[in-house]
Amino acid sequence: MELEDGHKPDSPLRRKVLLKLSKQAGYEFCDVTSIHGVKQCFGSDKFLPEKYRVQYCLNQMYSVYRKWERDPIIVSFDQHPQPIYSIPFPAITICPETKVKSSTLNLTETFILVRSRKLDETMDSERVRKLMALLQLCDYQLYDRNENATADEDTLQLLRQLAIPSFEVFNACLWRASSFRCLNLFKTTLTEKGFCFTFNMIGNNELLRKEELDSRYAFNSETRESHWDLDTGYRQGGVFPFRVVAGDYNEGLKVMLLAKKVDMDYFCGDKFQGFRVLLHMPNEYPQLSSQFFRIPLNQELIVTVTPRVMSTDDHAMLYSADKRNCYHGTERYLRFFRIYNRRNCEVECLTNITLQLCDCVRFWMPRPVGAPLCGLRDNPCAEKAMSNMIKAEAAKVKGESVENAAYCNCMPSCTHVEYQTQISQADWEWQQGGFFDFDKRQPDDVHQSKMVIYFKESHFIPISRNEINSISDLFASAGGLMGLFMGVSLISLVELLYYCTVRPFTLWKLSRRRRSSANHCSSKESDGVQ
């Protein structure tokens, strides 16, 4: 007979019987197993010291698991050097410290006139607009004098018009000991220091998602197609970005840079005249406010480059991004950039924070459709956005809680290249050469500097993220500990499997037979009594 809920009336009894049989199988295993210490810990012959030994073994096994779970990746050098032609020559961004020709605008004079209120937009609106655009490039501004300085939608156009043209910046360019027109090697690039010049960088169409950006935003003027990808390397026969075949003085880039004495203006900046230079990956957005070195006037710089190439093993890629501490190119989507790397991610994050906090973006940032440009009065807000981003990153490193809107989580890309430099410089007595006789310019009218950049060695040793312990290594470590402390072997595992699966079933069958036999005997006895 069954109850209304569908359970048999003796189901509690059955559960009790099954529990009893499981315990019986467990005690049998503890008494007969070949694993040392189990009988003394859990069986009928309990012994306290054995419990401590088994407990220590279990603690060690847990420590091995925690180490594997917490730090599964190790960074190490590869065993085999790689040729230098397998990676691109660095992209090189050069920014003149002189921002405008004096014949176009005398920056110091105009600022003094505006500050003393002797000049305003009603008197000369074009001159004031140019000043406000150039003040965006300066390291400091007097905000109290420009509280009403709103953003000019033509700021980029004005900066482009005011920028010193490339033919007045470059005297000569040599690539791999061959002379080239500098205009063909260096392309105009927008940075936070205004319009600069970049060698060996991929163009807008491959770097940016142009459909997400305002049509007036133009990052650089490069039009050549790239034949290189960060993860897969160069395509067959690929030539751009440019690369070299050896680490040699003549297998690099040489540039001679000019600065007119009449254009020197010490108002906008830190009283330094010359050039800022940044080396970066060809697919990386240049930021010259954080990382750069300088070329002084009338100096020659020799820059030797040592690449630091990081890659990630296929087995390490199976772990989560947080555990390997990097993103694959397809794992992290960027709204403005087609290519993920840490620098591009930070630029996009700063742009988003600035837009959210200030309702505008700086002139050099990727500009979303419909986003206004920040004016001078918005600069303190934009600086606060930068500060919030840096503080959020520092708080995350310390393990403190952070504001999600300010935290970027811009981990490095799983494959990336860093260009480490060694720089030597000396006075360059270029006036003594007797070759400066072109374009009607005289040595007394200009300063000239020279920079030579080349790889230090013809080969480099890559660095790789590798799996420190696989699943099989984890089991091997656990098995070794169990074998050392408890004598566990493959036979022991077969025993455990038997007592967990087969033995409870046989005990249950034996119990049923005994109960059936007992019921049969009791029925016969009742018949005999009758």
User: What pLDDT shows up at residue 208?
Assistant: 92
Using DSSP's 3-state secondary structure scheme, residue 446 falls into: strand
Residue among 177, 207, 170, 166 nearest 343 (CA): 207
User: What pLDDT shows up at residue 9?
Assistant: 46
pLDDT in tens, 85-123: 999 999 999 999 988 888 888 887 887 887 777 766 556
Q: What angle do CA 382, 388, 394 make, to 5 degrees?
A: 145
Cα–Cα distance for residue pair 411/326, rounded to 1 Å: 5
Residue among 511, 506, 500 nearest 14 (CA): 511
Exposure string of 299-330, with b = 16+ CB inside 10 Å and e = fewer, is bbbbbbbebebbbbbeebeeeeeeebebbebe
Residue 243 near residue 85, CB atoms below 8 Å: yes
CA torsion sign for 374, 378, 380, 381 is: negative
Higher pLDDT, 507 or 232: 232
User: What pLDDT shows up at residue 114?
Assistant: 77
pTM of the model: 0.79
Residue among 64, 43, 90 nearest 279 (CA): 90
Cα–Cα distance for residue pair 326/342, rounded to 1 Å: 9
CB atoms within 10 A of CB 289: 13
Listed range (35-44, 382-391, 468-477) with the worst mean pLDDT: 35-44
User: C-alpha distances in angstroms, 57 versus 26, 54, 61, 487?
Assistant: 20, 5, 6, 11
Residue 413 DSSP one-character state: B
Please check the confidence at residue 451 and state whether its pLDDT lies above 90. yes
pLDDT in tens, 54-72: 677 777 777 777 777 777 8
Enumerate the CATH 2.60.470.10 domain ranges in the chain, comma separated. Answer: 75-97+170-325+418-467
CATH topology of domain 342-411: Helix Hairpins (1.10.287)
User: What pLDDT shows up at residue 3?
Assistant: 42
Cα–Cα distance for residue pair 61/480, rounded to 1 Å: 9
Tokens of 230: 């960060």
The chain-wide mean pLDDT, for the chain, equals 80
Cα–Cα distance for residue pair 173/55, rounded to 1 Å: 72
Cα–Cα distance for residue pair 328/309, rounded to 1 Å: 15
Dihedrals φ, ψ of 269, to 5°? Answer: 140, -160
The CATH H-level superfamily of 75-97+170-325+418-467 is: Acid-sensing ion channels like domains (2.60.470.10)
Residue that has been written with the tokens 């906008």 in this structure: 268
Please check the confidence at residue 26 and state whether its pLDDT lies above 70. no
Cα–Cα distance for residue pair 348/367, rounded to 1 Å: 10
Q: What percent of the chain has pLDDT over 90?
A: 35
Q: How far is CA 223 from the centre of its chain?
A: 26
Enumerate the CATH 1.10.287 domain ranges in the chain, comma separated. Answer: 342-411
* Rg of the Cα atoms in the chain: 37
pLDDT in tens, 418-447: 999 999 999 988 877 655 544 545 667 889
Tokens of 135: 């003040």
pLDDT in tens, 175-221: 999 999 999 999 999 999 999 999 999 988 899 998 999 888 878 88
pLDDT in tens, 341-375: 999 999 999 999 999 999 999 999 999 998 998 88
User: C-alpha distances in angstroms, 397 versus 139, 290, 390, 393?
Assistant: 29, 20, 11, 6
User: What pLDDT shows up at residue 141?
Assistant: 54
Residue among 465, 463, 415 nearest 313 (CA): 465
Residue 316 DSSP one-character state: G
Q: What secondary structure does DSSP assign to 317-368, as a single string?
A: GGS-HHHHT-B-TTTS--SSBSS--HHHHHHHHHHHHHHHHHSSB-TTS--B
Residue 417 near residue 234, CB atoms below 8 Å: no
